[in-house]
Structure 1
Amino acid sequence: MSASPRRFARNLPANFPAKPVVHALAHLVGYTAARIRSPREDLRTEEAERLLDCLVQAGPVYMKMGQLLATRSDLVPPEWVQTLRTLQDDAPHMDAPQSRAAIERELGAPMNSVFREFDPVPVASGSVAQVHSARLLDGQKVAVKLVKDGVPRQIDQNLRAMGAAVRLAQRASSAVADADAVRRFGEIATLFRSQANMLHEASRQKAVYRNFEGHPYVRVPRVIPEFVTPRMLTMEFMEGIRGNAAHEVQMPQAQLARRLQDTIYTMLYMHGLSHGDPHPGNILFSESGELLLLDYGITVELTEDEKWGLSSFYYACTRKEWDVAVERFTAHFVTGTRTLRRKWDAYRAELAAVLEHHFDVVSNRWSTIGYFRDVSDLLKRYGARYTSSFTKVELVFLSCEGFATQLDPEINIWDNARRFTDRYSPYMSKEVRERFDAHFGTQIPSSLKMRDRANNSLVAPTHINRYFFPSTYPVFVKDAAGGRIRDLDGNEYVDLSGGYGPHILGYSHPVVNEAIISGVTAGNVNGIGHEPEVELAELLVDAFPAAEKAILCNSGTESVLLAVRLCRAYRRRDVVVKFEGHYHGFSDQGMVSSWFRFTGDKHAPEPIAGTLGSDSGVVRNTLVFQYGDIGGLDRLREHADRLACVIVEPMPSSTAAIDEEFLSALRRTTADLGIPLVFDEVVTGFRVAYGGAQTIAGIEPDLTCLGKIIGGGLPCGAVVGRAELTDMARSSEDPFLDYEKKAFAGGTLSGNSLTCRAGNAVLTHLRDHPTLYEDLEARTRWLRAEFEESTRKRGIACRINARGSIFSLNFSHRSAGVYRERMAGSNFKATIALAYYMRKHGVYLPELHSFLLSAAHTDDDLAVVGKAFDLSLTDMAGDGFFVT
């Protein structure tokens, strides 16, 4: 915390302020008389002092306004700034007896029953509360934040008076009425009232603490929950340098300003929970430049939809796509749009001009106030206004800009914002793109020519034209063997894609080659019975303890479609439960809430289509849960009568982790309710263990969806499970009964002899060589340790999960919580770029995808991968991919 208050030598009277408006008017009259007598410029200091006393006398809401003014050196005289800074952490405070009485009132016990030491002089005092240093009985040093006596009442008085004035102004002025001032004031008033509620503040502080846990340079005090009451908050004590004394930090103030802006933007864009009052009294610095975030009396929360809107709007601005930016801004942050919709062309042109002016023409002289003023004026002309959420964002941006400008008067706010938004996009900066163009133009010219040729006739959504994240520098393979591939130009790479999963034995494995050659010689049979089809079904059923029968199809996507249909037919219900972030193939159902677009409360997500073109009825008939949230499973009981099944990835490849406790609870609940449980083991089946992740967890689902490995590299899928479910696709030999009580399953190439021969060869080899899995796990652990050491020694925030040959890498400080939290803050640009840097160093990594080891990878291969990762991080740091 900061040093003791100095400006206000007197303590705060118990009845302060008795008549705030009267006191404020008295000061204003006195000052006005002085200015009439002597209107000299050298009275600026007296002017500032008078204003300070006026704000203090008026009450905490007015003091909060003074705190904001103290950050606006671009708007008010320097004497004002210097004097009003007092309000940030040096405002009047209660005396020692008052403070002691307040503490004991909150504790309901003598102070010495909780605190070994307690300093009665506050280390900081703001508009609402004062902060004391203390030690608990166990010796831990803590900060105790105490709401000043009378402040809640004073806030209420201030806001009632202001509200009356706003209502009067709205009745008297059409301009004020057009701005919907009463409603907007009400929203701001709600923020102010929450400042005096320490229970609310503690909950917000704990959430922000979790969001920044592990961050390289942001620290949040840990709350001590057993000593939190409605008027008192006890937390970890943090020593730091005041925001107003940033020159004492051993780091350039320009870098501190960038860190501040990056932190605020991270909270708004990525976390959706932001500090709402980032002035210098609430942010301290360590000597080395860490940011210590204090005071969560005011916070701003954005929904997933609002975060998406904010990010997509500013992203369009970075690309100078002004019409797109207008569409996104209006859709997410403008209300009262009836008039502007009728005059859309004119409105779009005017707003596009405003955006272009601020984000492009004068971006090097960015002014948040000017930008918001111009947009607000335009909206008023069309009878529209900001949404309440954007009003709150506006306040945060204003405070952030004021503080950042105070730290670095030359800061380019928009340029920093562009670089921040750019990190979370898939597209490289112009400078990096030019370097890659030059490098790959020399390294893989034939692949780039093939890319251009393919673009004339082929849409390849898996490896070139990938949804969300297209491949800029795709590799075209000439041949592949073992754990390596060779491109058209003769470059050899250690391959970590494994064809997205099928090639667990590596490429061109002898047992697979032999099976395929023999199958080609014997003639590929489909649509007619053959022995390899039966053999593959027997292998699959034997591998899974709960499986009784198998149905073959052509892909993992098909297996999910088939499993869901079987369950709907069996249960005569339509609603399917899936989990946020879990991908079950490219069907409409499989993609609901599966990747980067989420909506609704994180504990009860709402379904959202994974792609344009999805059947809205399918989306509505999906309930979305959170993997790992055991408490959330109570929702299954609420909706049990509507549910066809629950489908889940027992070990999501995006996190490479199994939550065995959660899966056990899910199995118990679905069994109790008679709801079929479907495991999607398309990726993990036969990769993490023979029989998949369910054999590791010891959980038996009703159906299992399979694909990838079971076809030996050829297209294949399967559903295995309980006979009463799989037999829903088995004819009753009564065509009328089939239509009434059975489900259709088909596919011309399902179970073709070539695929089944290859699958049988791979599964037999895996079954007969169980130590192969032990070796893969050992290599997985070794490579993970190499990666972790490379990131640790450079101080790069990176989460690396790995198990059973599956790796999940995420450039973020956040640990894997619920899926949307894991994605929030992920540096997509760095993750995609890593794939290209690794290719420069002889390793093929799929862009933004889990990567995989195979049994064919040698120690030398892994050494190449470890070195390539280390060199790539050096290159990426030099190219500015990581914030410092």
Structure 2
Amino acid sequence: MKAAAQALLESCRVAWWTAVLAAGLCLGRRDRARASRLLRAYLLRMGPLYIKAGQVLGTQSGLLPRQVTDEFRTFFNELPPMREPALEKVLRHGLGRPPEEVFESFDRRPVAAGSVAQVHRAVAGGRPVAVKVVKAGVRGRLEAGAAVIGRLLAVAHLLPRLRGYDLPGHFREMRPLLTGQCDMAAEADRQREVAENFRSHPFVRVPRVHEELCGPDVLVMEYVDGIPGHDAGAVPVSRRELAARLQDAFYCMVYFHGRFHVDPHPGNIVFTPDGGITLLDFGLVGHLSEDDKWNLASFYYACIRKEWALAGRRFTRAFAVRPETLGHGAYEEELGAILRRHFEEQASHWSTLAFLDDAIRLLGRHGTRITTTFSVLALSLLTGEGFISEVDPEIDLWATTRRFTDRFAPYLNEGLRDTFQREIGERAPRTQALREEAARHLVAPTHFDRFVLPSAFPLAVAQAKGSRLRDLDGNEYVDLSGGYGPHILGYAHPAVVAAIQEAAARGAVNAVGNPDEVRLAGLIAAAFGPEHKVVLSNSGTEAVQIALRIARARTGRQRVAKFEGHYHGFSDQGLVSSWFRYRGDPRAPEPVGNSAGMQDAVVAQTLVLQYGEEDSLRRIAAHAHELACVVLEPMPSALGDFDPAFLRRLAAVCAEAGVLVVYDEVVTGFRVHYGGVQHLAGTAPDLTCLGKIIGGGLPAGAVVGRAEVIDTARTSGDPFRDVDSRAFAGGTMSGNSVTAAAGAATLLELRDRPQIYSRLRDRTAWLVEDLTAQAGDCGVPCRVKGRDSVFSVAFDHATPRLVRDRLAGLDVTATLAFAYHMRRYGVHLPELHTMMLSAAHSDADLEQVSEAFGKSVREMLSTGFFGAHRN
């Protein structure tokens, strides 16, 4: 009873002092300053949670008068430290011994003191380190402060006008984040994660953690000297540039990484003399799931296109609790007006605070509230944008935000788009005209009408020969696409052309037996080992469908496991969690569809795994009783490499569980090696899916595997047994004589000329090294990865391990612009796809690619493409 009375008393005090400040702000300058001082003193006495509120107020120079923000800005660097006896007690408990026995020296005078912890300078291993120590009693004060706020909000909830906001429920969800910020071991983990995300960033860094010295009460990290955040004016970089860099740092965390600093006030920032940014204090770190990032990006993209009704629906889906209750006309009309006001009429004076204030009020009036996830994000943006605007009051936040919110958008700024439109229009008018004609008759989701990220300037080819393409207007290009992989010998190879002509002259046989299909099947089977057999199909997608059906028929189980980010063709099963959209914990992903029209049951029943992770093997073992097979790209196209140790462990776990392993080598089969990746990795799956190269440039697919497995697709001779236990895998054009002849001619060339592979391996390595060096010389955030004729270029400062992280940080706009810049210098590459070399590429071709790369990157750099303030 006494505790409840005290909590109620404190609630009244908080309400009283908040009212004092509000009243003071409406009075004259002197009274306003006095009210600010009184509230500051009270917040300081109340403890850490209230001090955090004061720090937020200190960043709001665009909202509050200057003398008010100046008063609260003292919370950044003028908070009292612990008394020395308390410090000594915490250090002994946290380190397990006196600090003198751990460090070569330890300065008991703190260099900084915050609301939760204070920082001391020490020396360890001959290097200066920063020792962050939790203040004595802070845990109890955080809990007490949270209890007071919780009771205050419970009282507020009794008011009819506030009931719709569900303030108690909202705070209940946020409370663990706020009260958990004094666990230094957890903070060390968060700091390491953010540091890894920024590991290769050109101007953002995070201090390295000394893990062996960290615990719940103490965090030890490298010591960072520099200019304090509140002295931003002392940084010898223009205000505009510095503000743009801050925004780059904050928004990268939110929109790319999904792990963001909730408290990015000046006290948690240190600048280097050259304008670099060091991020400190990861006690409060927010998290956006893959769905959160997708919903946020889709909302912003609709706003950019001024599609207000769609933006309203996406806002409701992304931000609102109980969105299903908000579909009526009055709500939609009010929301549309808010969106137009902030994203169109007031875009040049964008304020996250102003937008969210209007949005929260609207949701409250209609009986719901904003989600806790986006409340935390709002707090981060509120603090960060306040700091940014303090550094550069003239910054156009919305204009620069578009770089981050467009991460899934095929967006080029107007100037660049107009430039390419003019150049390509002048250079290739017939190609442009063909695209317009195609729009009347053809839907081509891989080129003219590329799915999700449509091409602004697709290429139309009149002739392809060797390593080069010629478009309809006579422009010639070194080609790095190879038709997405089939043309490993180059276009129109004489042996392949002759085989096609001869087979066509013999009648282009299909749906009856012919020697060409037997020859092709024999070559494929021989490449994978004795007693292997083959089922032919018309594409890689069909091959995967056949392999999964065989696996289900052989095991009697229904469920399929696949890996996140691995693409297995356009079937419902192949598209699950394959690109763009991912969901759930990275260690245990949840299935998600990547196209409208996919069967919900297929998506929901797919077990999604993470390549290279031990957790995936444990999940396979746990679900073995229901799994027919695991399908994967042994060398994921998005990563450009393979993990042989993981592939071997996967094979062992699946063999023990009776789960079939299916390799999708549609891209890598006969490209990285005669056969495929499995020959390089030393593994043998139960089934392998092939395509592309085995057709010699014509449509083809195949499944190859041990005879006892493949024979599941062969008739038993008993019609009743066939229906019960055999997998049908027929196709009218499967194994047609023209495709089979072209494929056999290609495989014979590759089999009889093994030097093709060693030459491709060496040339890929040279190209990766050369392009990497050029990007490094220019200071461009670019990763070039590849091996064995397959390589990729990604403009991203991070070095992600997971496919979902690679996509999250990928600068789509830069990738598209790079492709169009390269065309200026006679190089064609697939805009958003891995690139491939062929046996037809000469030394001169590679030199041309290298020269075009250097020119393109320097041109992009000179126009501010990779700068923090890029438009």
Measured against the shorter chain, the TM-score band is over 0.9
Name 2:82's counterpart in structure 1: 94
Name 2:3's counterpart in structure 1: none
Q: Report the CA distance between 1:197 and its aligned residue.
A: 1.6
Q: Report the CA distance between 1:698 and its aligned residue.
A: 0.6
Q: Which of 77-86 and 194-203 deviates more?
A: 77-86
Q: 1:182, 1:721 → 2: CA distance?
A: 60
Q: 1:468, 1:24 → 2: CA distance?
A: 54
Name 2:596's counterpart in structure 1: 612
Distance 1:338 1:440, change over 3 A: closer
TM-score scaled by length of structure 2? 0.96
2:435 to 451, 460, 468: 451
Distance 1:684 1:64, change over 3 A: same
Q: Does 1:160 align with 2:144?
A: no
Q: 1:819, 1:482 → 2: CA distance?
A: 33
Name 1:236's counterpart in structure 2: 222
Name 1:54's counterpart in structure 2: 42
Q: 2:477, 2:277 → 1: CA distance?
A: 42
Q: 2:85, 2:531 → 1: CA distance?
A: 73
Q: 2:562, 2:325 → 1: CA distance?
A: 41
Q: Which of 586-595 and 780-789 deviates more?
A: 780-789
Name 2:211's counterpart in structure 1: 225
String of CA shifts for 1:357-382, please: whole Å, max 9, x gaps: 00110111222222112112222222
Q: Does 1:638 align with 2:622?
A: yes
Q: Does 1:531 align with 2:515?
A: yes
Letter paired with 1:147? V
Please show how residues 307-706 of structure 1 align to structure 2 within 5 Å.
307-337=293-323, 339-341=325-327, 343=328, 345-422=329-406, 424-545=408-529, 548-706=532-690
Distance 1:487 1:25, change over 3 A: closer
Please show how residues 169-208 of structure 1 align to structure 2 within 5 Å.
169-171=156-158, 173-208=159-194
Q: 1:287, 1:459 → 2: CA distance?
A: 55
Q: Report the CA distance between 1:24 and its aligned residue.
A: 12
Contact 2:129 2:222 in 1 (8 A): yes
Q: Report the CA distance between 1:423 and its aligned residue.
A: 5.1
Name 1:141's counterpart in structure 2: 128
Q: Report the CA distance between 1:40 and its aligned residue.
A: 7.2
Please show how residues 750-769 of structure 1 align to structure 2 within 5 Å.
750-769=734-753
Contact 1:650 1:680 in 2 (8 A): yes
Contact 2:297 2:407 in 1 (8 A): no
Q: 1:654, 1:423 → 2: CA distance?
A: 17
Q: Which of 501-510 and 345-354 deviates more?
A: 345-354
Contact 2:632 2:662 in 1 (8 A): yes
Contact 1:21 1:57 in 2 (8 A): no
String of CA shifts for 1:533-560, please: whole Å, max 9, x gaps: 1111111111113761111111111100
Q: Report the CA distance between 1:802 and its aligned residue.
A: 0.8
Contact 1:241 1:285 in 2 (8 A): yes
Q: Does 1:718 align with 2:702?
A: yes
Q: 1:514, 1:535 → 2: CA distance?
A: 16
Q: Which stretches in structure 2 are left out of the alignment for 5+ residues?
A: 1-5
String of CA shifts for 1:176-210, please: whole Å, max 9, x gaps: 21211111222333222011121221221121112
Letter paired with 2:90? A
2:287 to 301, 311, 314: 301
Q: 1:879, 1:453 → 2: CA distance?
A: 34
Name 2:109's counterpart in structure 1: 121
Q: Report the CA distance between 1:214 and its aligned residue.
A: 1.1
SS of the residue 1:641 aligns to: helix
Name 2:263's counterpart in structure 1: 277
Letter paired with 2:105? E
Q: Does 1:828 align with 2:816?
A: no
Q: Which of 89-98 and 238-247 deviates more?
A: 89-98
Q: 1:548, 1:594 → 2: CA distance?
A: 29
Q: Which stretches in structure 1 are left out of the alignment for 5+ residues?
A: 1-17
1:811 to 791, 795, 812: 795
Q: Which of 71-80 and 735-744 deviates more?
A: 71-80
SS of the residue 1:132 aligns to: strand
Name 2:275's counterpart in structure 1: 289
Q: 1:199, 1:428 → 2: CA distance?
A: 43
Name 1:735's counterpart in structure 2: 719
Contact 1:424 1:826 in 2 (8 A): no
SS of the residue 1:593 aligns to: coil
Q: 1:665, 1:368 → 2: CA distance?
A: 49
Q: 2:445, 2:641 → 1: CA distance?
A: 27
Contact 1:576 1:645 in 2 (8 A): yes
Identity of aligned residues (%): 47
Letter paired with 1:220? V
Name 1:11's counterpart in structure 2: none
Q: Does 1:75 align with 2:66?
A: no
Letter paired with 1:400? G
String of CA shifts for 1:603-635, please: whole Å, max 9, x gaps: 100111121111112112211101111232100
Letter paired with 1:113? E
Name 1:3's counterpart in structure 2: none
Q: Which of 827-836 and 450-459 deviates more?
A: 827-836
Q: 1:703, 1:579 → 2: CA distance?
A: 16
TM-score scaled by length of structure 1? 0.94
Contact 2:11 2:151 in 1 (8 A): no
Q: Report the CA distance between 1:413 and its aligned residue.
A: 1.6
Contact 1:546 1:702 in 2 (8 A): no
Q: 2:203, 2:75 → 1: CA distance?
A: 27
Contact 1:563 1:719 in 2 (8 A): yes
SS of the residue 1:281 aligns to: helix
Q: Which of 412-421 and 664-673 deviates more?
A: 412-421
RMSD, aligned CA: 2.2
Q: Does 1:253 align with 2:248?
A: no
SS of the residue 1:814 aligns to: coil
Q: 1:644, 1:467 → 2: CA distance?
A: 31
Name 2:93's counterpart in structure 1: 105
Contact 2:8 2:152 in 1 (8 A): no
Letter paired with 2:774? S
SS of the residue 1:824 aligns to: helix
Contact 1:607 1:619 in 2 (8 A): yes
Letter paired with 1:294? L
Q: Report the CA distance between 1:339 and its aligned residue.
A: 4.6
Distance 1:873 1:338, change over 3 A: closer
Name 1:5's counterpart in structure 2: none
SS of the residue 1:868 aligns to: helix
Q: How many residues were matched structurally?
A: 859
Q: Report the CA distance between 1:418 and its aligned residue.
A: 2.2
Q: 1:74, 1:463 → 2: CA distance?
A: 47
Contact 1:70 1:85 in 2 (8 A): yes
Contact 1:546 1:700 in 2 (8 A): no
Q: 1:259, 1:876 → 2: CA distance?
A: 18
